[in-house]
Structure 1
Amino acid sequence: MRTRKIVLPLLLVVLAFSACNTGQKFEINGHVADKNLDGEWVYLVPMVNAPVERVDSTQLKNGSFTFTGKVETPEIYIIRTRPFLRLSHQELLVVKEPGTLQVYLGANSKVAGTALNDSLQNWKVQKEIIDNKMLFLNQNLKNADAENQAKINIELEKLRTERAYSSFEFVKNNQDNVVGKMVARIMKGAFTAEQLKELSIE
C-alpha cells in the first residue's frame, strides 16, 4: 500500500514532464537591414488562427532577433515589424518547423535553413521576378500610345500566364505539405479551370 502511494506521484511527475516536452525544437535567427532599430519589436504571427496568445514577440538587439520554441506540426507564420517599419522591412512568410532558420528583414526579406523554407523562398523569388516585370510594364502602360499599349498588354498576359503556371507546378509538387497548400490558397484565382481540376481545388 505504501509503495503504491509513492509510485503514483512519481508517475504523474513523469507524465507532466513528458507533456511539457512534446514537439521538436525550432530556432529562428534574424537580422534587419537597419542596424539602428534596437528596442523595436519583431512579431511572429500565425498566418491563420492568430489570437493574441499565439503571437510571439521579441526586441531587436544589435540589429538581431531570435525566436525559439517547440513545434509539433509545420505551420505558416509571418515575421513582421510594426506597420511603419514595414515600408522598409518587408513582411516574411516562414514555416515554423523543427530546425534552425536564418532570416533577413529588409526591402526584400528572405529565409533559409530547412527544406520547406528553402522551397518557400524559391517560390517567393520566382514570383517577385515576374511581379517586378509586370510592375515595370504597368508603369509604361500609363504613358504609352494605343499601339504600344496593345503590345504591352500582350506581354502582361504572357507574364500572368507564366506566373500562374509556375505557381501551379509548385503546388502540384507540394500538395502534401503546408507550403503547397498555402500557395494554392494565394494563387487559386490565377489558375485555369483545368489547373484547378488537376489540383482538385474547388
Structure 2
Amino acid sequence: MKKLFFGLALVFAMASCSSDSYKISGKIEDVSEGTVYLKKIGVDSIEDIDSTTLKNGKFTFTGSVVYPELYYIFVNEIETPIAFFNENSSISITGSTKDPQKAVIKGSKHNDLLVKFEDEMPSIEVYEQLRDEYMRAQAMGDNALAESIIADLQVAAEERKSYIRDFINANNNNAVGALLVINIAQIFEQDEILALVDTMTTNLGDHPYVVMLNEMLAPLRQQQLLTVGNEAPLFTLKDINGNDVSLESFRGKYVFIDFWASWCRPCREENPNLVALYKEFGGEDFEIISVSLDETAEEWMEAVKEDGLSWTLLHDADGSVAQQLYAVQSIPSTWVLDREGKIIYKNLRGAEIASTIGALLQ
C-alpha cells in the first residue's frame, strides 16, 4: 500500500512540474548538424531565448514561460524559421529548413488553435484567381467583365474578413486571438477594436500581446477623449521666462491653443493672423497659448522674436503634451476652449480663427 501511495505521489509531482515548464523535442529532416536557436517576438525585435546543438538532426529545449507566445526555431544561419506557439507542455516539432511552414507541431494547444485558424480560412486561391482574371479583363479592355469580377472579389474579401472577425471574437480569451488582432487590427472599426481589446484585457490581464495592443491603441483612445464637448487635457509647461504655467489657470477665459514649431512653414505663415487676433481680442476674456515643439529653446525664442508673438508662449521640447495628451500628428494643430476648459472647436485656420473667436466674444 505504501508503494502505491508513493507511486501516486510521484505521478502527481511529475504532472505538477510539467505544467510549469516546457520541453521542446525537435527533428530537422534536412540538416543533421549545427546550432538551433530559440527566439520569440519582442516589443521591438525578435528576442534570443536559448540555443542548443543539433545532433543527427535532433535538438531539445527546456524551460518555462509565463504566458503562451509565438516562438521561432532557427537552424544555423538559415533566415526562415519554424514558427510555433510555445507553452508549458511537452512539444514535438518535426520539419525542414526548406519548407518550415509545413512543420508538424504537436503538444501545444495554442498552436493547434492557430493551425485551425489557418486551415479553416476561406480559400486564398479563389481570391488570387479572381484577381488574375480582373487583370486580364483590364488588359483586354473588357470593363463590364472587370466590374463583375470586382464584385466577386469584394464578396470573397468580405467572406475572409467575416471569418477572421468571428474567429477572433470567439477567441478573445487566449493568446492566439490577441496575436491575430495585433496583425489584423485594420479589419475592425475603431469602437469595435477598443471594446475587443478591453475584453481581452479583462480575460488575459497583462499578457504581453494585450500590453502591446493597449500601447498600439493608446493614441486612438486619447483621440476619443478629445472630441468636442469634452474637457481639454490639463498640462503644465515652462514659459519663455522659465516659469511653470498651467492650462487650468486660464479657466474663465476663452483659450486658443496652437501647437507649432519654428521649422513649420504653415505655422509661421499663420502667426501674423494670430498677432492680429490677439491685438483685437486678447485680454480678460481671451488668451492664446502657443505651444512650441522645437527641440531647442534657441530656435523657439528666435522665431518668437521674428514673428512678434506676445501672448502665453510655452515649450513642449519632448512633444509629450502634444503627442500623448492631444494626439497631435501634424502642425499647426489648434484648439478652442470655452471658459470651463471644454473643447468647442478644433483645427481652425486662417480667417476662420478670427470670425469664430469674434463670434464667441461678442
TM-score (norm 2): 0.41
Q: Is the 8 A contact 1:43 1:57 kept in 2?
A: yes
Contact 1:102–1:111 (Cα < 8 Å) also in 2: yes
In the alignment, is residue 94 of structure 1 matched against residue 84 of structure 2? Answer: yes
What is the CA–CA distance in structure 1 between the aligned matches of 2:70 and 2:24, rounded to whole Å?
13
Higher RCO, 1 vs 2 (CA within 8 Å, ≥6 residues apart): 1
1:61 matched to 2:55? The reply is: yes
Matches within 5 A, 1:67-78: 67-78=61-72
2: CA distance, partners of 1:156 / 1:136: 10
Q: Deviations over 1:141-173 (max 9, x none)?
A: 333343443333323222222222222122212
- Relative to structure 1, the CA distance from residue 54 to residue 83 in structure 2 (aligned partners, 3 Å threshold; closer, same or farther) is closer
CA drift at 1:29: 2.6
Identity of aligned residues (%): 24
Structure number, greater radius of gyration: 2
Following superposition of structure 1 onto structure 2, how do residues 85-124 of structure 1 map, counting pairs within 5 Å?
86=80, 91-105=81-95, 106=99, 107-124=101-118
SS at match of 2:136: coil
Is contact 2:39–2:47 with CA below 8 Å preserved after alignment?
no
Deviates more, 1:92-101 or 1:55-64: 55-64
TM-score normalised by L of structure 1 = 0.67
Over 4 Å off, 4+ runs? 50-53, 81-85, 192-195
Write the letter of the residue equivalent to 1:117. Answer: N
Pairwise mapping of residues 126-141 of structure 1 onto structure 2 (< 5 A)? 126-127=120-121, 130-141=123-134
For 1:6-35, what per-residue CA distance to the aligned partner results, in whole angstroms no more than 9, with x for missing partners?
xxxxxxxxxxxxxxx9x8121223334xx3
Query: CA distance change for structure 1 residues 133 and 59 in 2, over 3 Å: closer, same or farther?
Result: farther
Who is 2:26 aligned against?
A: 30
Amino acid at match of 2:149: I
Give deviations 1:40-65, integer Å, cap 9, x for gaps.
Answer: 44432211247787432334433443
How many correspondences in the alignment? 174
Distance 1:166 1:52, change over 3 A: closer
State the one-letter code of the partner of 1:134. Y
5 Å matches for 1:1-202?
Answer: 24-32=20-28, 35-49=29-43, 54-81=48-75, 86=80, 91-105=81-95, 106=99, 107-127=101-121, 130-144=123-137, 145=140, 146=142, 147-192=144-189, 195-196=192-193, 199-200=196-197
Could you say what the CA RMSD is over the residues aligned between the two structures, in angstroms? Answer: 3.2
Contact 1:111 1:117 in 2 (8 A): yes
Equivalent residue letter for 1:71? V
Classify 1:197/1:152 alpha carbon distance in 2 versus 1 (closer, same or farther; 3 Å).
farther
Instruction: Deviation per CA, 1:100-125: give whole Å up to 9, x if none.
Output: 22334325344332322211111122
SS of residue in 1 equivalent to 2:102? coil
| Cα deviation, residue 92, structure 1 | 4.1
